[in-house]
Amino acid sequence: MRKFHTVTVVGLGVIGGSYAKALSALGYRVLGVDSDAQTLQAAADDGAIEQGASDPDAFFAQSDLIVFALYPSRIADYLHAHLHAIAADCVLTDVAGLKSHFVQQICASLADRADLQFVFCHPMAGREKRGYAYADPSVFCGANFIVTPTRTACEETIERVEALAREIGFGRIRRITPQLHDEMIAFTSQLPHAIAVALINGDTHPDTGDFIGDSYRDLTRIANINEDLWTQLFLENADNLIAQLDAFERQLRIVRDAVAARDAQTLRETMIRAGIRRRKLESDRAKTQ
């Protein structure tokens, strides 16, 4: 399988920065695009990128892979504006946490360049902090990697991108449709973020920090949320998220009703079911690592 040689990473935030660090450590030639000059300097100082620029055109002309690590809503326009500069037969990929709507947008903006292939990916790793300063490629180690193939990429190209993901250290790699991706992500990612936000916003006591243990700390870690990104992700996946919020509320009602009825047996059974599911999650994960 042909390996990539020169990779341009567009957007050196926490995820793009982590990609740049991972790829340069693996020996790839990495070029970095960011609107922030300090970020480019920091990435160059780290050796995460060979060169940096705010305008991508010169880098796009010499890359055989471009990673768009931008907010999902910006990718299509950005691609459209710089489409002319991209080298022939270049492979494009992204890191967006939402697919259906954005995949359509992006495919439309690719229409004039039948030679380009876009492999839509969602690396399921992140940090609750934002910005290059928090970029850390170790978050990819063993993490899930999802590919949502479309007709804009052939099998061989998809496999090249998956091979790169494996090289970076991702664990399980799965292919699903953009639609199923967005349904799953509403449950596994968006619902937990909505819960964390609601939990911490319900805090009514000034000294709560003195009365917490790891459980509250764990459940609110992601409440330190990037409001611009997540407002976009929530609203572009509104129907799926609402369905999951409603399903979660029904599950929480089971607990509430059992507590209200002092129904120890239902509570115990509900907890036993939860414990079994959680231990299965751990044992499944152990198998892939």
Q: Which of residues 127-146 bind a second copy (CB under 8 A)?
A: 139, 143-144, 146
Binding mask 212-241 for a second copy (x = CB under 8 A): xxxxxxxxxxxxxx-xx-xx--xx--x--x
The answer to whether 78 and 8 have CB atoms below 8 angstroms apart is no
Angle at 75 between CA 38 and CA 13, to 5 degrees: 30
Q: Which two tokens stand for residue 165?
A: 């993901």
52 or 171: whose CB is closer to a second copy?
171
Judged by CB under 8 A, the stretch of 27-35, 148-156, 161-169, 279-287 that binds a second copy is: 279-287
Is residue 289 at the binding interface for a second copy, with CB under 8 A as the rule? no
3-class DSSP state for residue 8?
strand
Residue closer to a second copy (CB basis): 4 or 140: 140
Site residues for a second copy, window 250-269 (CB under 8 A)?
250-252, 254-256, 259-260, 262, 264, 267-268
Contact between 99 and a second copy per CB under 8 A: no
Cα–Cα dist 175/167, whole Å = 17
CA dist., res. 211 & res. 62, Å (int): 56
**Contact (CB, 8 A) for 97 and 122:** yes
Minimum Å distance from CB 228 to a second copy?
7
CA gap 234, 56 in Å, rounded: 29
Residue 288 CB, nearest approach to a second copy (Å): 9
Among 125, 135, 161, 168, binds a second copy (CB under 8 A): 125
Q: Is 286 in the site for a second copy (CB under 8 A)?
A: no
**Nearer to a second copy (CB atom), residue 89 or residue 203:** 203
The answer to the question of residue 84 lying near a second copy (CB under 8 A) is: no
Q: Which is nearer to a second copy, 2 or 287 (CB)?
A: 287
Q: Which two tokens mark 156?
A: 């061989």
Minimal CA–CA distance to 135: which of 249, 41, 33, 19?
A: 19
Number of residues that bind a second copy (CB under 8 A): 90
Provide, rounded to whole angstroms, the least separation between the CB of residue 23 and a second copy: 20
- Smallest distance, a second copy to C-beta of residue 165, A: 14
Query: Degrees (nearest 5) of the Cα angle 185, 190, 192?
Result: 115
Nearest-approach distance from CB 232 to a second copy, in angstroms: 8
* Beta carbons within 10 angstroms of residue 287's beta carbon: 9
Task: Compute the least distance from the CB of residue 21 to a second copy, in Å.
Answer: 18
Min CB(233)–a second copy separation in Å: 10
Please report whether residue 279 would count as binding a second copy according to CB under 8 A: yes
**Smallest distance from a second copy to CB 265, Å:** 9
Beta strands in 162-202 (DSSP E): 173-175
The answer to whether the beta carbons of residues 99 and 125 sit under 8 Å apart is no
> 61 or 216, CB closer to a second copy?
216
Of 211, 214, 137, give the one whose Cα is nearest residue 168: 137
Q: Per rule CB under 8 A, is residue 192 in the interface with a second copy?
A: yes
Please answer whether residues 4 and 91 qualify as being in contact, where contact means their C-beta atoms are separated by less than 8 angstroms.
yes
**What secondary structure letter does DSSP report for 131?**
S
